[in-house]
Amino acid sequence: MPLLKCSKEELNLGAVLLGGQSFRWKKLVTNDENIAPASDDIFFGVAKHRVWKIWRENDEQLGYEVLAKFSKARSNDLDVLKDYFQLDIELMPLYKLWAENDKYFAHLLENHRTKLEGIRVLGQDPLETVFAFICSANNHIRRITNMVETLCELYGESAIIPCSNGMKTFYDFADPKRMTDDPELEKVLRIRGFGYRALNIALASKTLEDNGEQFLENLSKGTYEDAMEELQQMRGIGAKVADCICLMGLRMHSVVPIDTHTLQITAENYLQTLQQRKSLQGKDRQQVAAVWQEKFGPYAGWAQAVLFTAHLRQMNIRQSTKKRLSKKKAVKL
């Protein structure tokens, strides 16, 4: 199997692939040394019009296999994989710089380095990020993943691949043209549980069916302000969703998507005046973004991905502790 030089300090597969950036990956846990010689974690997913199997071979290398290619696949597999993980951007120097500039980041890194190292931003297909993050509005990762999978099953190209337990079908991302060709698109999506997002997806597919890829590529070459204005013309794309598309689809690395987690991090560590706020609008959002960009520079969006991951881990630990305490109290009663 081909190998890709990439240290664990530069890429944490689990945190990056399953952390809410992409919704096309699943982890297979196995103890079969013939499948993954130096790791129990294997990741299967679809990206860049290919079906991938990826694992960490050792501390310095990734193993990968392309199980299938869809009709839109272009370029060399290795180059595509490097581009997807944006490996031309070195992470360790950024971590060092961020720790020097921010005491909170330095504290987290000092106490949780192994859990936080290797968290980078994926370079995804812009078209995919538009539809995926429309699905993300007022939603959680598991449900977003189910919606994205459904969209791909309904309107994406398929590939059947032999697996250890039989044949499995994988799907390329949904084609906007296939979506618009279905006169029942909105109805179908509502039946499948998309709710109000069904109309948003139907309208976005009409906007992007012909020259969507070129339109988004042009946005990536322009200014952040122009991209935000254009993206928010589409129903279902507000400021937060547009920021996610800019960061993860258009590769605007300084963009900081502001959700409840980012707001909490900011209020607790950078702008205490925001501690009673549950949402932000207009100038307040700009102020938060400016604080992050001042501290973390041109890759502020990448720093946010690290601190976002740390915040989620802390919340999960707190919730687990509360559950254990509740069980103990119940037993005493």
* φ and ψ at residue 25, rounded to 5 degrees: -120, 145
pLDDT value of position 316 = 60
Marked catalytic residue, from 240, 283, 322, 332: 240
For the chain, which domains are there? 3-88 (3.30.310.40), 90-116+253-317 (1.10.1670.10), 127-249 (1.10.340.30)
Which tokens hold the place of 296? 């973390």
Q: According to the per-residue pLDDT averaged within each range, which of 147-161, 270-284, 317-331 is highest?
A: 147-161
Residue 77 to residues 4, 36, 69, 73, 80, Cα–Cα distance (Å): 11, 20, 10, 9, 5
Name residue, tokens 């692939």. Answer: 17
pLDDT digits (tens, 9 = 90+) for 4-32: 999 999 999 999 999 999 999 999 865 55
Which tokens hold the place of 86? 């944006």
Name the least confident of 126-130, 163-167, 257-261, 279-283.
279-283
pLDDT value of position 36 = 43
pLDDT digits (tens, 9 = 90+) for 69-126: 999 999 999 999 999 999 999 999 999 999 999 999 999 999 999 889 999 999 999 9
Task: Tell me the CB-side half-sphere exposure of residue 181, using CA atoms within 13 A.
Answer: 9
For the chain, give the mean pLDDT. 91
pLDDT value of position 108 = 95
Report the alpha-carbon distance of residue 206 to residue 177 in Å, rounded: 8
Pairing between strand 41-47 and 166-171? unpaired
* Average pLDDT, integer, range 226-245: 97
Predicted confidence band at 254 (pLDDT cuts at 50, 70, 90)?
very high
pLDDT digits (tens, 9 = 90+) for 38-67: 456 999 999 999 999 999 999 999 999 999
Predicted confidence band at 318 (pLDDT cuts at 50, 70, 90)?
low
The helix, strand and coil proportions of the chain, stated in percent and rounded to the nearest 5, come to 55, 15, 30
Neighbours of 169 (CB within 10 A): 9
Strands (E), the chain: 3-5, 25-29, 41-47, 50-58, 61-69, 158-163, 166-171
DSSP 8-state class, residue 21: S
Active site residue 187: no
What are the residues facing 46 on neighbouring strands?
51
* Average pLDDT, integer, range 257-269: 91
Has residue 37 got a pLDDT over 90?
no
